[in-house]
Structure 1
């Protein structure tokens, strides 16, 4: 019984410390919810939040009819995300978002080159106790780790 209480207590602590934007991002399952998320957070100056906004902007490509429009939207977001990662290579949220995208986009988009690198980075981060521990659950749930 004591172990159950301890387990539940720590789970409550972990889930209470998850930032709102991370929870909202993972709850956005429709186009409307995605657009609401983008509009709510698009003016943020926080790198972590920008990563989630860019991800959902890229996802908006799937709602376009013309292939060249889809590709244009996707590539614009890809360029933003790669720039963010280049400037912030140790940001866990950026690496997580890129891994989720790269593992889920079609191969023809040719955006799979960082999967091994991001998996190694994230698996090493998950081994240590740090301020990004709230992401461990999502990393395990939404990636191949």
Structure 2
């Protein structure tokens, strides 16, 4: 009986810690796009994330790797970071295509990726998914982050931005 209680307690603590980490990551992600320092900090925090992690955390890890590519100096390293980041991000989308947060993360990466990389084929699909599912998103924190992103985004028209207000 004690053993079962300890296992349940450990799982509860693990879930609680993950949700707190996710909240911290969510709030820092928009700043990481603008700052090498913040993106490096998030990269360290996400260093233990791998393909067996939750898809949302995998998506954030992938997006941070694409930011490392943005801030890297060496062309070869830029390419390696970007390819790895996109691979992780696409794995997250494949694992949970109905997750609005993952679709927001991918949209943010695609919108900011240099056009020459041709990583922009899902912008319209992700934007449409966000617009369709925004109202039913239960997390106020996530809704606020998505709304803030969309209002600054070039992918959303003025009319679409009004839908999110």
Class of the TM-score when normalised by the shorter of the 2 chains: 0.7 to 0.9
| Partner of residue 36 from structure 1, selected from 15, 37, 41 | 41
Q: Please say if 1:126 is aligned against 2:141.
A: no
Larger RCO, structures 1/2 (Cα 8 Å, 6+ apart): 1
Q: How does 1:7-22 map to 2 (within 5 A)?
A: 19-22=23-26
Moved over 4 A (4+): none
Structure 1: how far apart are the matches of 2:61 and 2:100? 15
Where structure 1 has 5 or more consecutive residues not aligned to the other structure, the ranges are 1-17
Distance 1:50 1:33, change over 3 A: same
Q: How does 1:1-145 map to 2 (within 5 A)?
A: 19-28=23-32, 29-44=34-49, 45-128=53-136, 130-143=137-150, 144=153, 145=156
Count residues in correspondence: 127
RMSD: 2.0
Where structure 2 has 5 or more consecutive residues not aligned to the other structure, the ranges are 1-21, 157-165
What is the deviation of 1:64? 2.3
Structure 2: how far apart are the matches of 1:64 and 1:25? 18
Q: Does structure 2 retain, via aligned residues, the 8 Å contact 1:42–1:50?
A: no
